[in-house]
Amino acid sequence: MRLTTVTSIRRALPLTLLVLGVAALASDRPAAIGHFGLDVAGGDPAVRPGDDFYRYAAGTWQKATTLPPDRTEWGSFGRLREESDARVNEILEAAAAGDAPPGSIGRKIGDYYASFLDSAAIEGLGLGPAQAALEAIAAASSYDDIARLMARPDLELPAPINVAIDLDLKNPDRYVIWVMQGGLALPDRDFYLRDDGQFATLRDRYREHVAKLLALAGQPEPADSARTILALETAIARLQWSKPERRDRDKIYNSRSRAELVSTAPEFPWDVTLAAAGLGDVERVVVAEVSAMQPLAQLFRATSLDAWRRYLTYHFLRTHAAVLPVAFDREQFDFYGRTLSGQPEQRVRWKRAVAATNAALGEGIGQLYVERNFPPASKAAVLSLVENLRQAFGVRLRAVPWMTDATKQVAARKLATFRPKIGYPDRWRDYAALDVRRDDAFGNAVRASLFEWHREVERLGRPTDRGEWFMTPQTVNAYYNSVFNEVVFPAAILQPPFFDPAADPAVNYGAIGAVIGHEMGHGFDDQGSKSDAQGVLRSWWGERDVAAFKQLGDRLARQYDAYEPLPGIKVNGRLTLGENIGDLGGVTVALEAYHLSLHGRPAPVLDGLSGDQRFFLGYAQTRRSLIREEELRNRVLSDPHSPSVFRVNGVVRNIDAWYAAFGVRPGDKLYLKPAERVHIW
């Protein structure tokens, strides 16, 4: 589990040089999209921008685009992920066909990929590779045995109470053991507890799937086991904290000694659990959902050993289905892909082999990926943009009326210490200890899991690695890490439509500029703002600032609470608040940065579009997507990000400049009175 969402001080470059740093990279080649970076034809001019800006910017693209049958969502992110996977596949195919020396990273990634692709070998082995684990589960004859199995890192089993290793939110220089709730197979506890027709039907389908998977393994009484497993997971769900509750960093940080942990929930075999995970000498932990621990521990002890054995057997098969015979793999997809997420077709084997190899050896692949696909000029250009956004954020920060001067000064220090990481890490992960065999897909998956866990355990007691990345360079995404106070942008997202050196600056600022601003904004959202410039979780805002910020957040949460992407399924404004603040702040700051880049000169008009219009359309272009209803339901209930349509419409209606740019007026569906608009940064 990664709880964190860099901290050397970087001197900001002069603003004029920052702007020139981007403009100087505008090459002779045309923009990748349109002639200045914007797919103007993808918008729907029949829609008033003030009624539905998302459709105005992407409606024609939506009508003309078909969602691929092996995808649950498709759009700007999906297309780039597909391109990134194709590039990684070229690397892996070459590695698998080559003759790299044994033990080299090229040999490891090639062998891992080839083993996952070798369906015939997997089929021929049957359940043989899984037999030892299945027998260990069947032989469990005490609650200590069950706890020991749940904690074994080679089995990757769920548990109502889990342990993980992560950064310490109150001490950025150390790693710490986290104790937290877990144990469910469906996306969120609501899937077990809601009585709406679709959820009851899904539970029926889930129970049928569990029975089928157990039957494939020759387990006795599969239908009865499925009923038992569903009942057990439902009982776990009733005791869990909700996702909005789990977002509150003040509530989830509860430092406890080992003795205090035991006394909190004495029914749970803590000593056995920690020893099985290789953490037997740990004396202090952080408990997340502290009030849930005792009820979950009591449930652990009150549940029969037979029920736990059935539960663990199913989950072991589920977790390893991709490297078991095809019947297991297909049944796994039939429920989790087709039924739960609405995906008509399973992704072809090579695409899943890319994903599996990325998960096991991601930075090993990343070394080769950046050599081929990320020129140094792109890194320099994006770094310039980051510094420009930092300057713009500072301008906004100094101007906000709701924050006191004293808190502004502390916030400015935090902004100044943001450390940007661009493209790829300075030091690559060492995979020398990972044993990869070309004829052992199942074993490779188990050893990769063990390798990663041992890597985490070995870091306990050592200083934190501030150079570490929590995403690979080939990942199409970005993140903010509050403990290191860093913003991180992998190479794969730094390409059109997010960033194009040949594109119009207004489009770049609306696209990658809004992403950069979003990640910076996480340092000042409702949770990231609880960590100071050194990444320490503490109160550093004045009471008046906290109250004013909470009021603004409450207003924004109420706006998003009203959005209903599916009948009876509404956006949770509390669950999505941090991301919504990030979106709103990101676009606001990026627009400020774009205006600063003009140095008082008017923006050119291109294809009849003003600079501000191109900026907002550039932002909307990055968010356009198609998504299946089933996946949309899953996301709304479990994802802290709002659906794409509201990441556009919900943002722009709070920005005054958007109203002016598109002539939005009272009576338009997105119109908000000036007093109702939420202005945070």
**Domain containing residue 307: CATH number:** 1.10.1380.10
- Which secondary-structure segment (H or E) carries 168? strand 161-168
**Average pLDDT of the segment spanning 204-211:** 98
Residues in the chain, total: 681
**Coil, strand or helix at 307:** helix
C-alpha 63/C-alpha 361 separation (Å) is 38
Q: Choose one of 324, 351, 386: the last residue of a domain.
A: 324
pLDDT band at 5 (very low <50, low <70, confident <90, very high): very low
Is it the case that residue 10 has pLDDT exceeding 80? no
Give all strands (DSSP E) within 482-613, no chain letters.
Answer: 486-490
CB 528 within 8 A of CB 482: yes
**Average pLDDT of the segment spanning 557-578:** 97
Q: What is the pLDDT of residue 28?
A: 59
Is it the case that residue 16 has pLDDT exceeding 90? no
Please choose, from the candidates 495, 374, 508, 375, the residue with its C-alpha nearest in 3D space to the C-alpha of residue 23: 508
Residues 304 and 382 in one domain: no
Convert the pLDDT of each residue in 222-254 to its tens digit.
999 999 999 999 999 999 999 999 999 999 999
Cα 468–Cα 472–Cα 475 angle in degrees, nearest 5: 140
- Whether 625 is covered by a domain: the verdict is yes
Residues 253 and 392 in one domain: no
Residues 585 and 491 in one domain: yes
Is it the case that residue 401 has pLDDT exceeding 70? yes
What secondary structure letter does DSSP report for 337?
A: I
Is it the case that residue 17 has pLDDT exceeding 90? no
Convert the pLDDT of each residue in 57-78 to its tens digit.
999 999 999 999 999 999 999 9
Which residue type does 493 have? Answer: I
Strand partners, 569: 566
Convert the pLDDT of each residue in 531-565 to its tens digit.
999 999 999 999 999 999 999 999 999 999 999 99
Convert the pLDDT of each residue in 39-60 to its tens digit.
999 999 999 999 999 999 999 9
- Whether 230 is covered by a domain: the verdict is yes
Dihedral over Cα of 37, 43, 48, 54: its sign: negative
Is it the case that residue 198 has pLDDT exceeding 70? yes
What secondary structure letter does DSSP report for 327?
A: H
Q: What are phi and psi of 27, to 5 degrees?
A: -80, 180
Is it the case that residue 4 has pLDDT exceeding 60? no
Q: What is the pLDDT of residue 178?
A: 98
- Whether 138 is covered by a domain: the verdict is no
Is it the case that residue 376 has pLDDT exceeding 70? yes
**Average pLDDT of the segment spanning 471-475:** 97
**Burial (Cβ within 10 Å: 0-12, 13-18, ≥19) of residue 283:** exposed
C-alpha 369/C-alpha 88 separation (Å) is 7
Q: What is the pLDDT of residue 2?
A: 37
Tokens standing for 332? 């796994």
Q: Which residue has the tokens 């070459």?
A: 94
**Coil, strand or helix at 280:** coil
- Distance from the first to the final alpha carbon of the chain: 31
Is it the case that residue 8 has pLDDT exceeding 50? no
Residues 192 and 319 in one domain: yes
Convert the pLDDT of each residue in 585-612 to its tens digit.
999 999 999 999 999 999 999 999 999 9
- Whether 573 is covered by a domain: the verdict is yes
- Whether 348 is covered by a domain: the verdict is no
Q: What is the CATH number of the domain that holds 396?
A: 3.40.390.10
Q: Choose one of 281, 305, 324: the last residue of a domain.
A: 324
Average pLDDT, the chain: 94
Which residue type does 202 have? Answer: L
Please choose, from the candidates 111, 123, 471, 109, the residue with its C-alpha nearest in 3D space to the C-alpha of residue 322: 123
Residues 314 and 382 in one domain: no
C-alpha 403/C-alpha 387 separation (Å) is 23
Is it the case that residue 29 has pLDDT exceeding 80? no
In the chain, DSSP finds a helix count (H) and a strand count (E) of 30, 9
Residues 54 and 166 in one domain: no
Please choose, from the candidates 484, 435, 442, the residue with its C-alpha nearest in 3D space to the C-alpha of residue 463: 484
Residues 418 and 530 in one domain: yes
Is it the case that residue 276 has pLDDT exceeding 90? yes
Convert the pLDDT of each residue in 165-186 to its tens digit.
999 999 999 999 999 999 999 9
Q: Name the more confident of 379 and 163.
A: 163
pLDDT band at 13 (very low <50, low <70, confident <90, very high): very low
Please choose, from the candidates 326, 320, 321, the residue with its C-alpha nearest in 3D space to the C-alpha of residue 121: 326
Residues 66 and 163 in one domain: no
CB 99 within 8 A of CB 106: no
3-state helix, strand, coil in the chain (%, to 5): 55, 10, 35
Is it the case that residue 577 has pLDDT exceeding 50? yes
Please choose, from the candidates 610, 618, 600, the residue with its C-alpha nearest in 3D space to the C-alpha of residue 508: 618
Is it the case that residue 9 has pLDDT exceeding 70? no
Share of the chain above pLDDT 90, in %: 93
Angle formed by the axes of helices 644-652 and 53-64, to 10°?
Answer: 150
Q: Choose one of 305, 324, 343: the last residue of a domain.
A: 324
Is it the case that residue 342 has pLDDT exceeding 80? yes
- Whether 158 is covered by a domain: the verdict is yes
Residues 149 and 275 in one domain: yes
Q: Which residue has the tokens 């956004």?
A: 389
**Average pLDDT of the segment spanning 305-315:** 98
Q: What is the pLDDT of residue 77?
A: 95
pLDDT band at 378 (very low <50, low <70, confident <90, very high): confident
* Number of structural domains in the chain: 2
Residues 186 and 312 in one domain: yes
Tokens standing for 62? 């939506």
CB 203 within 8 A of CB 210: no
C-alpha 656/C-alpha 644 separation (Å) is 21
What pTM, to 2 d.p., does this model score? 0.93
C-alpha 315/C-alpha 182 separation (Å) is 13
Measured in whole angstroms, the distance separating CA 240 from the mean position of its chain's CA atoms is 21
Cα 553–Cα 555–Cα 561 angle in degrees, nearest 5: 100
C-alpha 241/C-alpha 183 separation (Å) is 13
pLDDT band at 379 (very low <50, low <70, confident <90, very high): confident
Residues 213 and 282 in one domain: yes
Is it the case that residue 667 has pLDDT exceeding 50? yes
Is it the case that residue 636 has pLDDT exceeding 80? yes
Q: What is the pLDDT of residue 22?
A: 39
CB 4 within 8 A of CB 482: yes
Is it the case that residue 12 has pLDDT exceeding 80? no
Residues 498 and 572 in one domain: yes
Say how many CA atoms lie within 13 Å of 384 toward its Cβ: 25
C-alpha 441/C-alpha 115 separation (Å) is 5
Convert the pLDDT of each residue in 143-158 to its tens digit.
999 999 999 999 999 9
Convert the pLDDT of each residue in 477-504 to its tens digit.
999 999 999 999 999 999 999 999 999 9
C-alpha 475/C-alpha 482 separation (Å) is 20
CB 380 within 8 A of CB 13: no
Please choose, from the candidates 165, 224, 192, 199, the residue with its C-alpha nearest in 3D space to the C-alpha of residue 460: 165
Q: What is the pLDDT of residue 375?
A: 85
CB 445 within 8 A of CB 122: no
CB 347 within 8 A of CB 70: yes
Is it the case that residue 436 has pLDDT exceeding 60? yes
Measured in whole angstroms, the distance separating CA 217 from the mean position of its chain's CA atoms is 33
Q: Prior bond to 497 cis, omega within 30? A: yes
Range of the domain at 231: 143-324
* Choice among 20-34, 316-330, 352-366 with the minimum mean pLDDT: 20-34
Q: Residue 536: which residues within 8 A CB-CB, separation 6 or more? A: 169, 170, 171, 172
> 3-state secondary structure string, 189-236?
CHHHHCCCHHHHHHHHHHHHHHHHHHHHCCCCCHHHHHHHHHHHHHHH
- Whether 433 is covered by a domain: the verdict is no
- Whether 232 is covered by a domain: the verdict is yes
**Coil, strand or helix at 175:** strand
C-alpha 588/C-alpha 509 separation (Å) is 11
**Coil, strand or helix at 189:** coil
